Amino acid sequence: MTEENKGIIYAMSAYIIWGAFPLYWKLLEHVDSIEILINRIIWSFVFTTLFILLIKQRKKLIEDIKSLWKNKKLFLALLSASLVITCNWYLYIWAVTHDHVVDASLGYYINPLITVVFGMIFFKEKLSKAQICAVAVAFIGVMVLTISYGQIPWVALLIAISFATYSALKKKITLDATRGLAIETLFIFPIALGFYIYLWSSSEPVLFSVNITTDILLILGGIITAVPLVLFSKGAQRIPQYLIGFFQYFTPTVALITGVVLYNEPFTTTDFISFTFIWAAVIIFATSTITEIRKRHAAKKEAVNV
């Protein structure tokens, strides 16, 4: 098997696991979203750190932390990113456990398009005509939902905006995915631990007080957070960027099918019309991105041959 084929398997596995996350969080519907989040942060930090020690990357982790501390801008950027991704995790968990899986999938369909807009606003990146068209078509889809519901689809938009903000903050931070997760959760770990101490003193948290199944699910939430990140990291090193861009749409697609088919969430004619605009935007965006990346590769090959 070639390295590229291995990369495709790694990347597809990561995105499919991310798409199947609703199946996992739904098993914890009886737990408050905040407590699920706290456990996800704590156990992600614990298991990721143990994994780093197991693969003997402790020195590299310490070097990463020292390097970040010396560069205050990058340190603050990663600290901000860790806060934003915590908000994103909470929004997603809340959406899944409160029967908004379809809204969550819409958020991750819109996210790449908002990321492009952020690139234009904050990094002065130029959009192609096709990308501008994709953003405009997606905007129409969101407006269809807004007019139909009589309110803005806040859950989807907040999920999309929070993850796009996270991506923008991490743009110039080049960290290994596993060590990066360990450092990001390290920032939030004291807050999460403090909140759990408060829960234990003021009321009885669910962990270790309901049943063994709930305890295992809460603890393993840390592992299921880390595993797809490791798979993604291995995949991204082996395949072209345009394939990564294409595979990212697996996640909301799996989540959408899960919400509608397994959990019988409403998917009305208006939803279908709105999603049709979003899907059209995704196709335009993905096609233009793949075409541009291929052109760049071709131009680089020509330059090398010359």
Task: Show the CA angle centred on residue 191, arms to residues 187 and 195, nearest 5°.
Answer: 155
Residues 270 and 179: their CA atoms lie apart, in Å, by: 43
For residue 268, which phi and psi values (nearest 5 degrees)? -80, 175
Separation CA 194–CA 22 (nearest Å) = 27
Residue pointed to by tokens 């770990």? 189
What is residue 186's predicted lDDT score, i.e. its pLDDT? Answer: 92
Ranked by mean pLDDT, the top range of 165-169, 234-238, 260-264 is 260-264
| Interval 85-129: pLDDT, tens | 999 999 999 999 999 999 898 888 888 778 878 888 887 877 778
Decide if 15 contacts 251 (C-beta within 8 A): yes
Tell me the domain boundaries of the chain: 3-127+153-268
At 155-205, the pLDDT tens digits run 999 999 998 898 888 877 778 878 888 998 999 999 999 988 888 888 778
- Amino acid in the structure at residue 258: T
* H or E stretch at 90: helix 72-97
pLDDT interval class at 241 (50, 70, 90): low
Q: According to the model, what pLDDT value does residue 242 have?
A: 59
Phi/psi zone of residue 164: left (φ > 0), alpha (ψ -120 to 50 degrees), beta? alpha
End-to-end CA distance of the chain: 32
Residue identified by tokens 């996800």 is: 40
- Give residue 131's pLDDT band: very low, low, confident or very high (50, 70, 90): confident
Q: Is the pLDDT confidence value at 245 over 80?
A: no
Cα–Cα dist 141/129, whole Å: 19
Asked if 16 contacts 250 with a C-beta cutoff of 8 angstroms, the reply is yes
- Indicate if the alpha-carbon torsion angle 68, 69, 73, 77 is positive or negative: positive
pTM: 0.85
CA pair distance 256, 251, nearest whole angstrom: 9
The whole-angstrom separation of Cα 251 and Cα 5 is 20
pLDDT confidence of residue 304: 64
| Pairwise CA distance, residues 40 & 46, whole Å | 10
pLDDT of residue 196: 86
Q: For residue 174, what are the contacts with CB-CB under 8 A and spacing of at least 6?
A: none
CA distance 8 to 6: 5
CA 236 remoteness from chain centre: 15
For the chain, count helices (H), then strands (E).
12, 0
